Amino acid sequence: MIKYNQQKMKNIFIVLGMFLGIAVFAASCGDSKKAKPTETKEENKKNMEAGNVKEVYFAGGCFWGTEHLFQQVRGVVGTEVGYANGKTKNPTYEEVVSHTTGFTEAVKVKYDADEVDLKLLIELYFKSIDPTTLNRQGNDVGDNYRSGIYFTDKNTEAIVKAEVEKLAKNYSKPVVVEVETLKNFYRAEDFHQDYLNANPGGYCHIEPGLFEEAKNANPPKAKK
Select the more confidently predicted residue: 193 or 37.
Answer: 193
Per-residue pLDDT band at 221 (split at 50, 70, 90): confident
Residues contacting residue 110 through CB under 8 Å, at least 6 positions apart: 48, 53, 54, 55, 76, 77, 78, 79
Interatomic CA distance for residues 139 and 145, integer angstroms: 10
> Which residue, 121, 180, 190, is CA-closest to 146?
180
Which of 67-71, 95-99, 116-120, 200-204 is the least confident region? Answer: 200-204
In the structure, how many helices (H) and strands (E) does the chain have? 8, 8
3: left (phi over 0), alpha (psi -120 to 50) or beta: alpha
Q: Are 210 and 128 in contact (CB under 8 A)?
A: yes
Q: pTM value?
A: 0.80
Chain centre distance of CA 223: 31
Rg (CA), the chain: 18
Select the more confidently predicted residue: 34 or 111.
Answer: 111
Q: Are 148 and 59 in contact (CB under 8 A)?
A: yes
Q: Is 204 a catalytic residue?
A: no
Average pLDDT, the chain: 85
Question: Which entry of 14, 56, 59, 62 is annotated as an active-site residue?
Answer: 62
pLDDT tens-digit series, residues 33-78: 333 333 434 545 555 565 799 999 999 999 999 999 999 999 999 9
Interatomic CA distance for residues 52 and 71, integer angstroms: 18
